[in-house]
Amino acid sequence: MSALDALTTPALLVDAAALDHNLDAMSAALPGARLRPHVKAHKSTQLAKRQAARGHLGFTCATLREMEGLAAAGLGADLLLANEVLDARRLGVLEARVTLAVDSHETIEAAVAGGVREVLIDVNVGLPRCGCAPAEAGPLAALARRRGLEVRGVMGYEGHAMGIVDRAQREALVEESMRLLRTAHADVGGEVISAGGTGSYDCNASASEIQAGSYALLDTAYAGLGLPFRPALSLLATVVSLSATYAVADCGLKALGMDHGNPRIDGARVLFCSDEHVTFAPDGAAFGVGDRIRVWPAHVDPTVAYHEKMHVVADDAVIETWAVDLRGW
């Protein structure tokens, strides 16, 4: 254990109690294989081990590096790369059970050429990203089987529904998406219907497994949905400059994913972020040069990806430091 004060800022902090709460709450709702945690949100094998210890032995990945890192950490019991690749050779050599998403004849051929043995047919359920049209799923599954691949089932990510604040609207869009996925699954077969995320973990009854990842650390975007998870990820920053009307801390846009907008600071209004600074207007609270403050990121995933490590804290002490060892590609 070491004191929080000893950390160089900006530093990524994980609140141990909030993390444990989130992991426990999700495991209670989706025990064991009902959850396939997505590691893209935290990129840490140490955090993945906490998820595995709660009985979630299969993981979802977005990159080859995440697959390799989990396999090397002994977490390769059932790894899904929920993403298309055109060169799968790094997957074929992994000492792990590997399943790869495919959505075209090119990605099926890449799986074969790379030595991958198991695939899911990735179906577009409404988000304009990867995935074949639902009607193409059956023919692609047949092609994959002809090419010697084991087709475990389908996946389809209803990402366009994930951030909708109104619960009824969110549920309706999840159901509309899953109707498409069920149709595709009827044509494809297999045991797996992999879908969902933190925003639909409790209203997606169609999926055999949910790919949630953000629930572990949360962010200000997901915190607005009224889910039973707590913000666990913040940045420790130091106030480095002060004027009559604003203060400046050393946590800028190279320490924060900015696609969801500015971070939040308790007791202050964030004005803007520069490369290494956040300028904010104290909102009642008094700030002094040298003060340590907490900055709450709007989007966890691209925030974590900027950092080498995260410090697990309890009672203003660092109890563990985890490498963010799944970064890069």
The CA-based dihedral angle spanning residues 177, 81, 325, 292, taken in that order and rounded to the nearest 10 degrees: -10
Rounded to the nearest 5 percent, the helix, strand and coil shares of the chain are 30, 25, 40
Residue reference for tokens 């994913």:
257
Per DSSP, what are the bridge partners of residue 99? 80, 118
Q: State how far Cα 156 lies from the chain centre.
A: 16
Q: Is 240 in the site for a second copy (CB under 8 A)?
A: yes
By CB under 8 A, what part of segment 90-129 binds a second copy? 103-104, 106-107, 124, 128-129
Q: Is 188 helix (H, G, I), strand (E, B) or coil?
A: helix
State which of residues 79, 85, 137, 144 lies at the interface with a second copy (CB under 8 A). Answer: 85
Nearer residue to a second copy within complex by CB, 54 or 137: 137
Q: How far is the CB of 124 from a second copy (least distance, A)?
A: 7
State which of residues 14, 301, 310, 313 lies at the interface with a second copy (CB under 8 A). Answer: 301
Question: How many Å apart are CA 327 and CA 329, to the nearest integer?
Answer: 7
Element housing 317 (H / E): strand 317-323
For a second copy, what does the binding mask look like between residues 207 and 226, x meaning CB under 8 A? --------------------
The window from 138-146, 199-207, 220-228, 236-244 that contacts a second copy (CB under 8 A) reads: 236-244
Question: How many Å apart are CA 325 and CA 63, to the nearest integer?
Answer: 13
The window from 60-68, 113-121, 147-155, 178-186 that contacts a second copy (CB under 8 A) reads: 60-68
What residues line the site for a second copy (CB under 8 A)? 8-11, 40, 62-64, 83-87, 103-104, 106-107, 124, 128-131, 133, 159, 238, 240-243, 246, 248, 250, 253-255, 257-259, 271-277, 279, 289-290, 301-302, 305-308, 328-329
